[in-house]
């Protein structure tokens, strides 16, 4: 990717994220340009599942859908605060997915290397700082909660909002089915090939690539912003 292409890609990303902190302009513009209106919260939405990228967003949606006996209208995968804020404003049950910053940022850069550490870390801080004021109006599901026992996350969701969603049975067979579904979705985008940097399931190849990025994140040059990200993570982790 040449410098000009990277500049425009990063600029578009930042503009989208800045607009994404304000529901009215974000959703107004999104309606004009999007090919996937179903991802945004609307009057028909029954549940919002949203988070910073690479925080088990795809697994959560697929596993939740897999557990249900009927189709549930879910808003997901916008990765902007506006989705959470709109859900709060409309009284929709919301699950915000939360992953500690080093792992989340490193995984995003492996997927989107053009962003670079500074922009990805800024996005982590911007997303979580914006939604923090609404903390009492959504359920936090940490990355570890999702990967260890997603069924328990759904139980907590039902307890908080009085909903009756079916609980995901977090066993080896059901997790394998969810990962198979994620691979199927990814292969459809990549014309039959699995891109290990993008597919939303564990990958040894991706882990190797993220090691050097993690080292950079832990360097003194990133200390100030990383500390801000960690403080946000800790504040959002408080009990519901």
pLDDT in tens, 42-94: 999 999 999 999 999 999 999 999 999 999 999 999 999 999 999 999 999 99
């028909």: which residue's tokens?
Answer: 44
165 within 8 A of 157, measured Cβ to Cβ: yes
Q: What is the mean pLDDT of residues 173-182?
A: 95
Q: What is the pLDDT of residue 120?
A: 97
**Residue 142 token pair:** 């940490």
Q: What is the mean pLDDT of the chain?
A: 91
Q: Per the structure, how many domains does the chain have?
A: 1
121-172 pLDDT per residue, tens? 999 999 999 999 999 999 999 999 999 999 999 999 999 999 999 999 999 9
User: Measured between alpha carbons, how far is 105 from 20 in angstroms, rounded to an integer?
Assistant: 19
Non-local CB neighbours of 21 within 8 Å, separated by 6+ positions: 80, 81, 82, 126, 130
Q: How far is CA 161 from CA 64, 101, 139, 236, in A?
A: 16, 28, 10, 19
pTM over 0.85: yes
């394998």: which residue's tokens?
Answer: 176
User: Measured between alpha carbons, how far is 48 from 90 in angstroms, rounded to an integer?
Assistant: 11
Cα distance from N-terminal residue to C-terminal residue, the chain: 44
Q: What is the pLDDT of residue 193?
A: 38
Would the pLDDT of 199 be above 50?
A: no
Q: What domain range includes position 147? A: 3-236
Q: What is the pLDDT of residue 205?
A: 57
51 within 8 A of 98, measured Cβ to Cβ: yes
126 φ/ψ angles, rounded to the nearest 5 degrees = -60, -45
Q: How far is CA 56 from CA 61, 63, 172, 223, in A?
A: 9, 10, 17, 25
5-16 pLDDT per residue, tens? 989 999 999 999
The confidence band for 194, taking pLDDT boundaries of 50, 70 and 90, is very low
User: Measured between alpha carbons, how far is 122 from 111 in angstroms, rounded to an integer?
Assistant: 16
Q: What is the mean pLDDT of residues 95-119?
A: 96
Q: What is the pLDDT of residue 189?
A: 52
Q: What is the pLDDT of residue 195?
A: 44
94 φ/ψ angles, rounded to the nearest 5 degrees = -130, 130
List 95's β-bridge partners, or say none.
49, 139
CATH number at residue 175: 3.40.50
**Residue 16 token pair:** 């989208």
Would the pLDDT of 201 be above 90?
A: no
């Amino acid at each position: 990717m040449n410098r000009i292409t990277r500049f425009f890609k990063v600029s578009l990303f930042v503009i989208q994220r800045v607009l994404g902190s304000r529901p009215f302009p974000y959703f107004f513009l999104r309606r004009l340009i999007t090919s996937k209106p179903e991802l945004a919260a609307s009057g028909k939405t029954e549940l919002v599942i949203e988070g910073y990228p690479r925080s088990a967003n795809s697994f959560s949606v697929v596993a939740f859908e897999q557990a249900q006996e009927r189709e549930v209208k879910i808003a997901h995968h916008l990765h902007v605060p506006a989705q959470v804020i709109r859900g709060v404003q409309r009284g929709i049950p919301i699950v915000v997915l939360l992953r500690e910053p080093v792992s989340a940022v490193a995984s995003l850069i492996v997927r989107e290397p053009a962003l670079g550490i500074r922009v990805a870390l800024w996005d982590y801080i911007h997303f979580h700082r914006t939604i923090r004021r609404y903390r009492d109006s959504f359920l936090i599901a940490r990355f570890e909660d999702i990967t260890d026992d997603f069924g328990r996350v759904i139980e907590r969701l039902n307890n908080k909002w009085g909903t009756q969603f079916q609980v995901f049975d977090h066993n080896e067979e059901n997790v394998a089915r969810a990962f198979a579904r994620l691979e199927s979705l990814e292969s459809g985008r990549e014309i039959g090939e699995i891109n290990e940097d993008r597919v939303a399931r564990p990958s040894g190849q991706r882990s190797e690539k993220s090691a050097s990025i993690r080292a950079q994140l832990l360097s003194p040059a990133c200390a100030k912003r990383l500390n801000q990200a960690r403080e946000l993570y800790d504040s959002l982790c408080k009990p519901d």
